[in-house]
Amino acid sequence: MNTRTGERMVVATIATGATITVASTGRAFGTTAAAAGADGDELIIVGNVNEENSGARNVNTTRSTAVTNYTQIFKTSISVSRTEKEASLYGGKDLPYLRAKMGTQHGLDIERAFWNGEKKYDTNGTMGHPRRATGGLREFITSGNSYNQNQNGVLTAPDLNTFLREGFTYGSEVKTLFAGGLVLQAINEMARGQIRMRPNETSYGMQISEWVTAFGKVNIVFNPLFIGSFAGDAYLLDMDCIRYRFMQNSDTQLQTNIQAPDVDGEIDQYITEAGLERKQAPKHALLTGVTA
């Protein structure tokens, strides 16, 4: 159907993704008269029409395009002298404290890469061994067929509606919005009374708020890493298409006493080799540039 003229046509063949051939008797296939097409006309598929006693239709198979990413090796070191390790300090032993502190730092390093990393395979390391950087969500969304909205100003209700409409075009009816403070401030003003907290429930290690919109359900997460230039950003993600992946036997672990034998102290390290599986870019959307 040509949505501008209303004419229905029977397609005989599809030569390319941009070229179709209409059957010799296929024009005006209905009550609407034939009319000349124009550049930019929208054509939609109404359905298929078949003769009586006809055989099976041709089989068309859709296959997903392979999307690759790398696992990245993350390391965070902890070092204390023997004296520091054994000393009784006011706040307790120093080594357990440092392990907890650097464990958090290790997790933050991984999360920052998952948001802002770019995929890279490098063979120019000083030791001659390859190193890999995992690609993050910003790279995936901005380089794929996702919807990207650069607000470059105050977020208004119509602009937010446009973002949600486009972001829910494909994928699940339930999506998660990871947002910076400026975006959440605007949403709180516009959706006051519509957003509810889930009592005592967290996912992804963060508190979740729920907002039911006409386009779908939005689980809202404030991300404290989105500050400075990223405070006006928000990612609307279909979580069915995102997965944490790690190399076999290489999920986060604490290695202890890895110092050289002659060191008068202890060196530990957290080590992870992991990456982000990212699929179906059109199911995600990115909002950037929101200001106060």
Residues 286 and 152 in one domain: yes
Residues 166 and 286 in one domain: yes
Q: According to the model, what pLDDT value does residue 69 have?
A: 96
Last residue of a domain, one of 32, 51, 70: 51
Residues 182 and 284 in one domain: yes
Q: According to the model, what pLDDT value does residue 108 have?
A: 97
Q: Domain for residue 35, yes or no? A: yes
CB atoms inside a 10 Å sphere around CB 68: 9
Q: What percent of the chain has pLDDT over 90?
A: 80
pLDDT digits (tens, 9 = 90+) for 28-65: 999 999 999 999 999 999 999 999 999 998 887 877 77
What confidence tier does 202 reach under pLDDT thresholds 50, 70, 90? low
Q: How far is CA 79 from CA 14, 69, 101, in A?
A: 66, 32, 12
pLDDT digits (tens, 9 = 90+) for 111-141: 999 999 999 999 987 888 999 999 999 999 9
Structure tokens at 289: 């540039």
Q: Domain for residue 88, yes or no? A: no
Q: According to the model, what pLDDT value does residue 47 have?
A: 93
Q: According to the model, what pLDDT value does residue 18 have?
A: 83
Q: According to the model, what pLDDT value does residue 128 have?
A: 83
Residues 151 and 47 in one domain: no
Q: According to the model, what pLDDT value does residue 67 have?
A: 82
Q: According to the model, what pLDDT value does residue 277 have?
A: 96
Residues 151 and 285 in one domain: yes
CB 151 within 8 A of CB 159: yes
Exposure string for 137-169, b = 16+ CB within 10 A, e = fewer: bbbbbeeeebbbbebeeebeeebbeebbebbbe
- pTM for the structure as a whole: 0.82
Strand 242-246 relative to strand 195-203, pairing: unpaired
Q: Domain for residue 206, yes or no? A: yes
The yes-or-no verdict on residue 199 having pLDDT over 60 is: no
Q: What total number of domains does the chain contain?
A: 2
Q: Domain for residue 102, yes or no? A: no
Domain boundaries, position 225: 145-243+279-291
If DSSP codes are grouped into helix, strand and coil, which group holds residue 109? helix
Q: Which amino acid is at 148?
A: N
Mean pLDDT over the full length of the chain: 92
Q: What are phi and psi of 21, to 5 degrees?
A: -115, 125
